[in-house]
Amino acid sequence: MSHRPKNTAVISAVTGRWLLLSIAACALSWSNSSLAVTHLQRGAEAPPLALKDRNGAEVTTAKLRDHVVVLVFGELYHEKTQQAWATIQSVLAEDRWTAQSIVTVLVTAREPREEDLKAFTGGRVQPTLARDPDRQAFGAYRVTAMPSIVVLGRDGRVVNAMAGLIPRLGDILTDSLLFACGKLTAEALDRSLKAVPTTQASEPEIRADRIAQLASQLARRDLPEMAADKYREALALNTRHRAAHLGLATLLLGQRHLSEAEAQFRAVLADQPDSTQAALGLAFVQTLRGGAELDTAEQAVRAVLARNPSQARAHYLMGLIFEQRNKPQEAAASFKKASELLLDRAEQE
Amino acid sequence: MWIGLCRWLGTCGWLVATTTLVSSVAFAAGADAPAAPPATAKPTKVTETCVTEVCHGAIVARKVQHGPSAQQKCLACHQYADPLAHHFQLVSEPNELCRKCHNIALRTTVHSPVAKGQCTGCHDPHGSDFKGILLADPTRGLCVTCHKQNFASKKFVHGPVAIGACILCHEPHSSWQPKLLTQTPDKLCVGCHNELVPKGDEARHVHAPVKDGNCTACHDAHASDAKYQLRAAAPALCLNCHKDTAKLLASSKVTHGAVQDGAGCAACHSPHFSQLPKLQRSTQPQECLACHDKPLKTAAGVTLTNLAALLKDNPQQHGPIREGACTACHQPHAAENFRLLTSEYPPEFYASFNLDRYALCFKCHIPDLVLKQQGTGLTRFRNGDTNLHWLHVNREKGRTCRACHEVHASKNPFHIRDSVPFGNAGWMLEIAYKQTPAGGGCSPGCHTARAYDRDHPIAQPSTAPSTKGTP
């Protein structure tokens, strides 16, 4: 981790020019009607800083360039600042930042006392303490509440500005830092800031899913009648439950209830025409029926193999079709291919 | 038949053999119920078959048969002890016999009958009407013969329990897991309840028991009287672990109604995982507005405002609301202060100032905002560099923040109120705040019309506040 120890300067000389710029920015900011620090937009040039740390070293935005900066406006004695700092520390303690150059700067108006600083940092990550006795920096960043936190990118531009009191401080800070370190896209950061909830399935859909899972467990435990009942129960709740259709079809196929199995496979194909499992299941039904349906089955199996030549089950079905067509050599070759693929898969697993 | 039976028996075949053995002891003693003693004289020498109609024929009449029975190879398990008396004994000790054929490696947790070699506790050694030559239908009564818990008497029964499919979660013979579970606890439940595996950002905040795969910390795996087979209803269940909250609820003057009503904790918190801290179901203020979208009556009989409507009609909102932090001012569970405020704040309109009485506001707002008479970096409510907050608040009859600002939202900049109450008769005095590019002004009933300008201070009549009450 590349946090600056204590007040080690990242900063060199402060110039009168910076001071003037700071004051000008402060005055400018007052004329804007936006309220708190959160008016700072992502990508905007950060308002300039012209402060000094406890050792008299300068803390300026120019000196902070090439670092990702977590700028905290607050006071050491202030409970909410302490709480926010604890969150920041816990975020920065993660290993993921080891290779990053992240600098933390705490801007305070009051002169920090040594004991306050010790209690504040708890011996962990210590920020660069930048004094702002006249609250010029507070004004420039429009800090109306403490703590306020601004993350700056290596290019000195704002990544995110936030109130330190938000419940999601840790998560948003993490994502802001990830963005600043080039590990998160702007879209992903936006999604995170909005915290759009994942689309939840409806209660019947969830229930159908659970019952279908239960059915598959029952089938696995060789309780086919119970499994079939449960698959049907799941389908009553969600007529488009693919796994339930396929599970029930497989059970019905095992019991050689071909027409019912076919109906289930067709239900899946109606919803998902490129379902390999349903296509092969239907082809299996047609193969078992034989006769004129063998051509349809072969066509379907060949289509699957064209999409995925490594489909072991498709090769097996081709073997069955060849067998029915009285082509033992081709059948044997297909069965061999299927078994080889299965063995390969088993080895990989 | 033999092959079919073996397929069913799978890895547990040795048990059946053991069953055969034990049962054969009974058989030798003449207590073999299916094979009733023949009316004719018992044979006194080795015969071709034992399962003639008149002898032990019933053995092979079962739907599912043990391999040796099906093949009528009785001597695989039995041998003559006394041919003249037609007495038999098993070919080996009961706990060894089944294992001769059904030799399966036992895992760390072994079902008690298996450990004791009591295969016939569950299996009929000759045949039965149930798969695995079980003594009873495994889905209707076999397990509960010994495990006599009356799950049906509970209001909420786990799906597999309700259909008697104990073997979905428990191995019948042995397992690497405690309680003979078929999988490690973290994998077992999500085998069916896969919607409870957090995906993407949902995994950001996971309830500790879920993270540990310890579903049974909250749920009874079989049945309970609480919904979702919870071990108890919320909040009691949650407070078993969340002791600090329990303590807070027990000791505080004001309790959030949501904690005790309806879904309890689950009204605001997702019990499994969330992309939000504290497992919140949604971001604030939406989370709070899910209930506060109508006037609500508190336990004390006070009617709370419909906040959803208030925020909809008033776009100038207090920072914590804009930032999604209702909890910056309100305790979500319980508090000592009215309206669940996190710190002290005077409920009255006029109150002499000191930081402690206004602690709520100054948890976030910089105290210098009202403590310093001058300063350009403090506030925009300045006439030149005279801090007008300081001027209003630092009086013997100082104005509370609420005197000028709506605490949640208003239509005016800085959520300034439209009007202030006057007297007890319900009179309201308009503030009539107007913002200008460098300042603003108001003409309330409190004083004559005044204006301020940060850049070009406007001359004011002398109204220096007393310093009484100022820290």
Bridge pairing between strands A102-108 and A128-131? parallel
Residues of A in contact with B199 (CB under 8 A): 198
Is B219 exposed, middle or buried, given 0-12, 13-18 or 19+ CB atoms closer than 10 A?
Answer: buried
What would the mean pLDDT of B416-445 be, rounded to a whole number?
86
Torsions phi, psi of B441, nearest 5?
Answer: -170, 165
Contacts of B355 in chain A (CB under 8 A): none
Distance from CA of B457 to the nearest CA of A (A): 15
Confidence of residue A235 (pLDDT cuts 50, 70, 90): very high
Does A282 have pLDDT greater than 80?
A: yes
B284 vs chain A: nearest CA distance in angstroms? Answer: 9
- CA A332 to CA B122: how far, in whole Å? 44
pLDDT, residue B309, reads: 97
The average confidence (pLDDT) of chain B is: 84
User: Do residue A168 and residue B283 have CB atoms under 8 angstroms apart?
Assistant: yes
The mean-pLDDT minimum among A103-112, B2-11, B187-196 falls in B2-11
Task: State residue B441's pLDDT score.
Answer: 93
B382, B381, B383, B341: which is closest to B362 by C-alpha? Answer: B341
CB B80 within 8 A of CB B88: yes
CA A148 and chain centroid, separation: 26
pLDDT recorded at residue B47: 64
Residue A160: is its pLDDT beyond 50?
Answer: yes
Closest CB to B192 among A168, A191, A213: A213
The model's pLDDT over B50-99, given as tens digits with 9 standing for 90+, comes to 887 778 888 888 899 999 988 888 889 998 888 888 888 999 987 788 98
The pLDDT of residue B376 is: 73
pLDDT of residue B8: 36
Residues in chain B with CB shorter than 8 Å from the CB of A201 are: 195
Choose the weakest-confidence range: A236-240, B115-119, B261-265. B261-265
The proportion of chain A whose per-residue pLDDT surpasses 70, expressed as a percent, equals: 88
Q: CB of B74 within 8 A of CB of B86?
A: no
The mean pLDDT of B337-346, rounded to a whole number, is 90
pLDDT at residue B354, as a whole number? 78
Of B319, B368, B438, the CB nearest to A145: B319
- pLDDT for residue B370 is more than 90: no
**B229 and B223 Cβ atoms separated by less than 8 Å:** yes
Closest chain A residue to B138 measured between Cα atoms? Answer: A223
- What is the structure's pLDDT at B45? 65
Q: What is the pLDDT, as a whole number, of residue B214?
A: 92
Contact B325 A167 (CB under 8 A): yes
- In terms of Cα–Cα distance, which of A167, A82, A170 is closest to B332? A167
H-only helix segments in B323-413: 368-371, 388-393, 401-404
**Residue A302: pLDDT above 80?**
yes
Contacting residues of B for A168, CB less than 8 Å apart: 276-277, 283, 324
pLDDT > 90? residue A322: yes
Q: Give the lowest-confidence range in A329-343, B21-35, B107-121, B285-299.
A: B21-35
pLDDT in tens, A210-228: 999 999 999 998 889 999 9
In this complex, is the C-beta atom of B288 within 8 Å of any C-beta atom belonging to chain A? no
Contact B277 A192 (CB under 8 A): no
At A113, the pLDDT band (50, 70, 90 cuts) reads: confident
- Which range, of A31-35, A344-348, B88-92, averages the lowest pLDDT? A31-35
Supply the DSSP symbol for B128.
E
| A89-103, B9-23, B357-371: segment of lowest average pLDDT | B9-23
Which residues of B are less than 8 Å from A191 in CB distance? 201
Q: According to the model, what pLDDT value does residue B462 have?
A: 61
- Return the C-alpha torsion angle B248, B253, B257, B259, nearest 10: 10
User: Is the Cβ of B131 closer than 8 Å to some Cβ of chain A?
Assistant: yes
Q: What is the least distance, in Å, from the CA of B412 to any CA of chain A? A: 12
Among candidates B124, B115, B108, B13, which has minimal Cα distance to B62? B124
**A198:B368 CB<8 A:** no
What crossing angle do the helices spanning B2-9 and B13-28 adopt, rounded to 10°?
Answer: 120
Nearest by CB to B363, from A80, A138, A201: name it: A80
> How many Å apart are CA B14 and CA B12, to the nearest integer?
6
Nearest CA-CA distance, residue B235 and chain A, Å? 22
What whole-number distance in Å separates Cα of residue B219 and Cα of residue B209?
11
Whether pLDDT at B343 is above 50? yes
Interface check B157 vs A, CB under 8 A: no
Query: What is the predicted pLDDT for the residue at B470?
Result: 35
Bridge-partner residues for A149, per DSSP? A72, A162
Give the C-alpha separation, B358 to B366, whole Å: 12
Distance CA B403, CA A154 (A): 44
- Long-range contacts of range A311-316, CB-CB < 8 Å, 24 or more positions apart? A311/A276, A311/A280, A311/A341, A312/A337, A312/A338, A312/A339, A312/A341, A312/A342, A312/A345, A313/A280, A313/A338, A314/A276, A314/A280, A315/A341
CB distance from B437 to chain A under 8 Å? yes
Q: What would the DSSP string read from start to end of B152-174?
A: GGSSEE-HHHHTT-GGGTB-SSE
Looking at every residue in chain A, the average pLDDT score rounds to 86
Kindly provide the ipTM of the predicted complex, given to two decimals. 0.75
From the list B160, B280, B320, which residue is nearest A214 (CB)? Answer: B160
Region of poorest pLDDT, from A133-142, B185-194, B454-463: B454-463
In whole angstroms, give the CA distance from residue B410 to residue A324: 81
Which chain B residues are within 8 Å of A80, Cβ to Cβ? 363-364
By C-alpha distance, which of A26, A19, A23, A22 is closest to A142?
A26
**Amino acid letter, residue B400:** T
Taking CA–CA distances from A167, the nearest residue in chain B reads: B325
Q: At residue B13, does pLDDT exceed 80? A: no
Cβ of residue B384 closer than 8 Å to a chain A Cβ: no
Which residues in B lie closer than 8 A to residue A26 (C-beta atoms)? Answer: 376-377
Q: Answer for the pair A140, A26: CB distance below 8 angstroms, yes or no.
A: yes
Cβ distance of A165 and B413 shorter than 8 Å: no
B319/A167 touch (CB, cutoff 8 Å), yes or no: no
Terminal Cα-to-Cα distance of chain B (whole angstroms): 96
Distance from the Cα of B362 to chain A's closest Cα (Å) equals: 9
Question: How close B377 gets to chain A, by Cα (Å)?
Answer: 5
Which of B16-30, B116-130, B380-394 has the weakest average pLDDT? B16-30
pLDDT band at residue B39, thresholds of 50, 70 and 90?
A: low
The per-residue pLDDT for A99 is: 85
Sequence-separated (6 or more) residues with CB below 8 Å from residue A212: A230, A231, A234, A241, A243, A244, A247
On the 0-12 / 13-18 / 19+ scale of CB atoms within 10 A, B380 is: buried
Q: Do the chains contact at B200 and A223, CB–CB below 8 Å?
A: no
Q: Which helix (H) or strand (E) holds A11?
A: none
CA-based R_g, chain A, Å: 33
Question: What is the per-residue pLDDT for A33?
Answer: 37
Q: How confident is the model at residue A269 (pLDDT cuts 50, 70, 90)?
A: very high
A162 and B195 in contact by Cβ < 8 A?
no
Is the Cβ of B323 closer than 8 Å to some Cβ of chain A? yes
3-class DSSP state for residue A210? helix
B324 and A CB contact within 8 Å: yes
pLDDT at B14: 34
The residue of B139, B269, B283 whose CB has the most chain A CBs within 10 angstroms, and thus the best one to mutate to test that interface, is B283
B379 chain-A contacts, CB cut-off 8 A:
144
Rounded Cα distance between B463 and B460, Å, is 8
For residue B418, the one-letter residue type is: D
- pLDDT, one tens digit per residue, over B85-132 is 888 899 998 778 898 888 878 899 999 999 988 999 999 999 999 989
Enumerate residues 6+ apart whose C-beta is below 8 A from B153.
none
Q: Do A165 and B204 touch (CB under 8 A)?
A: no
Residue B17 has pLDDT above 70, yes or no: no
Would you say residue B319 has pLDDT above 50? yes
**B197–A contact, CB cutoff 8 A:** no
Listed residue (A230, A238, A181, A240) closest to A208, CA to CA: A238
Does the structure show a pLDDT above 80 at A306? Answer: yes
Q: How far apart are CA B427 and CA B429, in angstroms?
A: 7
pLDDT at A64 over 90: yes
Distance to chain A for B26, nearest Cα, Å: 31
Question: What's residue B463's pLDDT?
Answer: 54
A79, A136, A197 ranked by CB distance to B377: nearest: A136
d(CA A124, CA A135): 27
**What chain B residue is nearest to A110 in terms of C-alpha separation?**
B368
Determine how many CB atoms are found less than 10 A away from the CB of residue B230: 19
The proportion of chain B whose per-residue pLDDT surpasses 70, expressed as a percent, equals 87
- Interface size between A and B, measured as CB pairs under 8 A: 127
CB A73 within 8 A of CB A135: no
Q: What is the pLDDT of residue B135?
A: 93
Judged by CB atoms closer than 8 Å, whether chains meet at B328 and A165 is answered as: yes
* B323 → closest Cβ in A138, A165, A195: A165
Closest CA to B26 of B56, B62, B68: B56
Q: What is the pLDDT of residue A349?
A: 67
Pairwise pLDDT comparison (A199 vs A205), residue with the higher score: A205
Q: What is the pLDDT of residues B269-312, one digit of tens each?
A: 999 999 999 999 999 999 999 999 999 998 888 899 999 999 99
| Short-list B85, B87, B102, B101, CA closest to B24 | B87
Q: Give the start-end residues of each E strand in B336-466.
A: 382-383, 386-387, 409-410, 419-422, 427-430, 434-436, 439-442, 450-453
Could you tell me which of A11, A95, A98 has the C-alpha nearest to residue A58? A11
- Predicted confidence at residue A7, as pLDDT, reads 36
Q: Which of residues 108-127 of B touch A (CB under 8 A)?
A: none
Q: Which of B327, B380, B383, B456 to mutate to test the interface with A (most CBs of A within 10 A)?
A: B380
DSSP secondary structure, B251-277, as one string: H-SEE-HHHHSTTGGGGTB-SSEESSG
Per-residue confidence band for A47, with pLDDT thresholds at 50, 70 and 90 = very high
CB contact under 8 A, A222 and B131: yes
Q: Give B 167-196 residues with CB within 8 A of chain A.
A: 167-168, 191-195
Chain B, 337 to 366: residues with Cβ < 8 Å from chain A are 363-366
Residue A234: is it exposed, middle or buried by C-beta count within 10 angstroms (0-12/13-18/19+)? buried
User: Is the model's pLDDT at B349 over the cut of 60?
Assistant: yes
Are β-strands B205-206 and B273-274 bridged in parallel, bridged antiparallel, or unpaired? antiparallel
